[in-house]
């Protein structure tokens, strides 16, 4: 049961990491798609969105294999500066 829970957490973390470059590619691709409005815009938009997806998958998989997605996300979301200020205020 614990292994299933750990696997689901890692999968959730993998998806969160993968979504960051994918959403950036999707937004830039949409700007190309709507900005140009022709066949070139459609092709560029799709290629940029797909490249964001591929970069996201590669990046998330590399992080998963190297250190684990949950550990990576917890390090990113940590705020040691705020923790240090809180300790100083309590003294």
What does the pLDDT read at residue 57?
96
What does the pLDDT read at residue 82?
65
What does the pLDDT read at residue 1?
85
pLDDT at 66 over 90: yes
What does the pLDDT read at residue 87?
65
Pick the closest to residue 47 from 19, 17, 61, 26 (CA basis). 26
Pick the closest to residue 31 from 56, 57, 52 (CA basis). 52
8: phi then psi, degrees, rounded to nearest 5: -65, -40
pLDDT in tens, 25-37: 999 999 999 998 8
Q: What is the pTM of this model?
A: 0.77
pLDDT in tens, 9-24: 999 999 999 999 999 9
Q: What is the mean pLDDT of the chain?
A: 88
How far apart CA 63 and CA 54 sit, in angstroms, is 14
pLDDT at 56 over 90: yes
């Amino acid at each position: 049961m614990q292994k299933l829970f750990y696997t689901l957490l890692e999968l959730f973390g993998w998806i969160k990491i993968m979504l960051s470059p994918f959403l950036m590619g999707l937004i830039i691709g949409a700007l190309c798609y709507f900005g140009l409005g022709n066949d070139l815009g459609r092709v560029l938009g799709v290629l940029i969105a797909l490249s964001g997806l591929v970069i996201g998958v590669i990046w998330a998989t590399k992080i998963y294999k190297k250190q684990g997605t949950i550990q990576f996300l917890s390090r990113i979301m940590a705020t040691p500066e705020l923790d240090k200020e809180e300790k100083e205020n309590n003294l």
